[in-house]
């Protein structure tokens, strides 16, 4: 059957278009030219509102799903614990949700949230505390009323508090079961001091001492509008939501804003520290206190760490310790600055006990190399591109974006930080990286904490490439294992 004339013409046009498209394909993938990615980070001010009582509110409506998510973030957390009641803030945060209100029992509150298909939670972290609600837009008013009651008027029901205390004690009994928990505990004690909140851990006596009155006292310190910023995302109209919040906060009195978290007063004593544990693979942390978040050296340190051990398989520590030598499945470095005081730089890994010393030696060699030789242009470009090209993902969800804005406001971050972020990353040079490495990565001032079987670790690898006498002239401080409930030395 002959093809109609219009169809012949259409086939001819399609063929020509196809040939033209083929002609546009470069001969090699490396010759593909992509249009530049244009992305401008959102401005916090576009989402920021202020209620009549002075509470800051961030709103980011979206109508993809019939849900509303609201987060109350409060300045204040575990750093406010009294010295003899470590664990009080954490218990207060947890029990706000678990312990009912002054008018509704814990059981009834659970059933009401379940019936409304709403998820409410509360918690207290190191420096911030929060309460959140996720619910259907169709019954937001009812859910929000119960949520406000939960936040403002917690009942701290005695029976639920007793269950929380028992659960906490059972978890504490497992503190010595895993080497990672032992290492983390001793590392924080050395770095910040056991009297600083970063290292403070609850004990059996501090948990047993907690009462509902204690929780009410901590609740009054943290959970009030003087410490609060609100973030709301989801299916709502901004004017209506602001009115809902205004009505809920009208009679909620401001309390005294809490102070900033205190800086540690302990000076890290460099050296090798060891905790004995009968395990086949030793766990190790190597590092020291470094910089604050807003330090002028933040961006050079960020890129230095990414090249050294924080950039995955292309970073030097991972490449040598894991890929080249096969000594560890996990090896890395991390820079963790703090807002109000200097945070830490730490390299960490786990390896077979006999190869622990060799892996430590290689990491110190890489630290010395980045101090003494400029990084290559390719290494720097790879690290910079990784940060710049993934930058838009920082704002990929509205909830995540508002969380950034809330944290920035609570911690007084520079308002143009995100607008200048990529320029600051691009501005770092190899000379900058070597300078900050020389300034901060001082091997003779680092602590090296090892958890594992010392007899197998000390003698080193079978080839004799390294042993523990290679570090600090062989001096080592053997730390006793702590009782999991009292944290006192067991021997």
Q: Tens digits of per-residue pLDDT, 405-460?
A: 999 999 999 999 999 999 999 999 999 999 999 999 999 999 999 999 999 999 99
> Domain check: are 142 and 177 in the same one?
yes
Domain that residue 234 falls in: 44-249
Token code pair at residue 35: 């249009």
Distance of CA 208 to the CA centre of its chain: 29
Q: Is 339 helix (H, G, I), strand (E, B) or coil?
A: coil
Q: Is 374 helix (H, G, I), strand (E, B) or coil?
A: coil
> Domain check: are 283 and 336 in the same one?
yes
Give the pairing type, strands 67-75 and 281-289: unpaired
The pLDDT value recorded for residue 29 is: 85
| Overall size of the chain counted in residues | 491
The pLDDT value recorded for residue 21 is: 53
Spatial separation of the C-alpha atoms in residues 26 and 49, rounded to whole Å: 51
Residues 6+ apart with CB under 8 A from 247: none
Domain edge (last residue) among 218, 249, 280: 249
> Domain check: are 184 and 303 in the same one?
no
Residues 6+ apart with CB under 8 A from 34: none
Spatial separation of the C-alpha atoms in residues 243 and 481, rounded to whole Å: 56
> Domain check: are 234 and 289 in the same one?
no
Q: 73 and 133 in contact (C-beta within 8 Å)?
A: no
The position carrying tokens 């890290």 is 268
> Domain check: are 381 and 237 in the same one?
no
> Domain check: are 239 and 285 in the same one?
no
Residues 6+ apart with CB under 8 A from 9: none
> Domain check: are 343 and 198 in the same one?
no
Domain edge (last residue) among 193, 217, 249: 249
Q: 232 and 60 in contact (C-beta within 8 Å)?
A: yes
Q: Report residues of the chain scoring pLDDT below 50.
A: 1, 3, 10, 13-14, 16-17, 19
Token code pair at residue 139: 């019954």
Q: Is position 176 within any domain?
A: yes
Tell me how many domains the chain contains: 2
Domain edge (last residue) among 215, 249, 283: 249
Running DSSP on this structure, what letter comes out for residue 429? -
Spatial separation of the C-alpha atoms in residues 346 and 440, rounded to whole Å: 12
Point out which residues pair with 332 in neighbouring strands: 348
CATH code for the domain of 361: 3.30.830.10
Q: Is position 236 within any domain?
A: yes
> Domain check: are 86 and 155 in the same one?
yes
∠ CA 197-199-204 to the nearest 5 degrees? 90
Q: Is position 449 within any domain?
A: yes
Point out which residues pair with 123 in neighbouring strands: 130
User: First-to-last CA distance in the chain?
Assistant: 97
> Domain check: are 418 and 453 in the same one?
yes
> Domain check: are 78 and 175 in the same one?
yes
Spatial separation of the C-alpha atoms in residues 390 and 302, rounded to whole Å: 15
Spatial separation of the C-alpha atoms in residues 485 and 299, rounded to whole Å: 41
Token code pair at residue 427: 């501005």
Q: Is position 354 within any domain?
A: yes
Q: Is position 263 within any domain?
A: no
Q: Is position 64 within any domain?
A: yes
Q: Is position 166 within any domain?
A: yes
> Domain check: are 243 and 290 in the same one?
no
Residue-wise pLDDT tens digits, 354-365: 999 999 999 999
Residue 346 backbone phi and psi in degrees, to 5? -145, 135
> Domain check: are 144 and 203 in the same one?
yes
Residue-wise pLDDT tens digits, 104-126: 999 999 999 999 999 999 999 99
Torsion of CA 14, 15, 18, 23, to 10 degrees: -140
Q: Is position 53 within any domain?
A: yes
Q: Is 489 helix (H, G, I), strand (E, B) or coil?
A: strand
The pLDDT value recorded for residue 16 is: 45
Q: Select from 218, 380, 343 the least CA-distant residue to 268.
A: 343
């Amino acid at each position: 059957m002959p093809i109609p004339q219009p169809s012949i013409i259409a086939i001819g046009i399609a063929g020509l278009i196809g040939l033209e498209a083929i002609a546009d394909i470069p001969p090699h993938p490396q010759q593909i030219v992509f249009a530049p990615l244009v992305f401008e980070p959102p401005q916090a001010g576009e989402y920021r509102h202020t209620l009549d009582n002075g509470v800051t509110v961030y709103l980011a409506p979206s109508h993809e799903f019939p849900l509303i998510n609201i987060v109350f973030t409060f300045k204040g957390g575990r750093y406010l614990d009294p010295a003899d009641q470590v664990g009080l803030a954490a218990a207060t945060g947890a029990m706000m949700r678990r312990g009912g209100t002054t008018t509704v029992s814990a059981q009834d509150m659970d059933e009401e949230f379940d019936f409304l298909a709403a998820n409410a939670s509360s918690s207290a972290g190191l420096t911030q505390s929060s309460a959140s609600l996720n619910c259907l837009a169709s019954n937001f008013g009812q859910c929000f009323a119960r949520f406000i009651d939960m936040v403002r008027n917690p009942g701290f029901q005695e029976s639920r508090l007793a269950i929380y205390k028992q659960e906490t004690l059972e978890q504490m009994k497992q503190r010595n079961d895993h080497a990672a928990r032992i290492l983390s505990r001793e590392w924080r004690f050395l770095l910040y001091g056991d009297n600083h909140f970063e290292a403070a851990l609850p004990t059996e006596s501090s948990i047993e001492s907690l009462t509902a009155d204690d929780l009410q006292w901590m609740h009054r310190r943290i959970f009030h509008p003087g410490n609060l910023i609100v973030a709301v995302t989801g299916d709502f109209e901004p004017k209506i939501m602001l009115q809902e919040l205004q009505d809920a906060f009208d009679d909620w009195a401001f309390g005294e804003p809490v102070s900033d978290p205190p800086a540690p007063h302990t000076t890290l004593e460099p050296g090798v520290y060891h905790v004995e544990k009968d395990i086949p693979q030793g766990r190790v942390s190597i590092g020291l206190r470094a910089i604050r978040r807003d330090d002028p050296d933040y961006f050079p340190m960020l890129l230095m760490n990414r090249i050294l051990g924080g950039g995955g398989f292309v970073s030097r520590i991972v490449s040598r310790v894991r890929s080249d030598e096969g000594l560890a499945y996990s090896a890395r470095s991390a820079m963790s600055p703090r807002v109000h005081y200097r945070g830490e730089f730490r390299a960490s890994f786990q390896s077979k006990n006999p190869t622990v010393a060799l892996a430590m030696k290689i990491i110190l060699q890489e630290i010395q190399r980045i101090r003494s030789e400029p990084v290559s242009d390719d290494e720097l470009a790879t690290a910079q591109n990784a940060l710049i090209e993934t930058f838009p993902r920082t704002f990929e969800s509205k909830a995540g974006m508002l969380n950034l804005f809330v944290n920035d406001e609570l911690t007084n971050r520079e308002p143009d930080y995100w607008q200048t972020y990529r320029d600051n990353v691009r501005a770092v040079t190899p000379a900058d990286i070597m300078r900050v490495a020389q300034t901060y990565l001082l091997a003779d001032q680092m602590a090296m904490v090892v958890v594992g079987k010392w007899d197998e670790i000390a003698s080193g690898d079978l080839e004799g490439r390294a042993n523990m006498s290679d570090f600090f002239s062989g001096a080592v401080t053997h730390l006793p294992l702590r009782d999991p409930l009292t944290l006192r030395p067991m021997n």
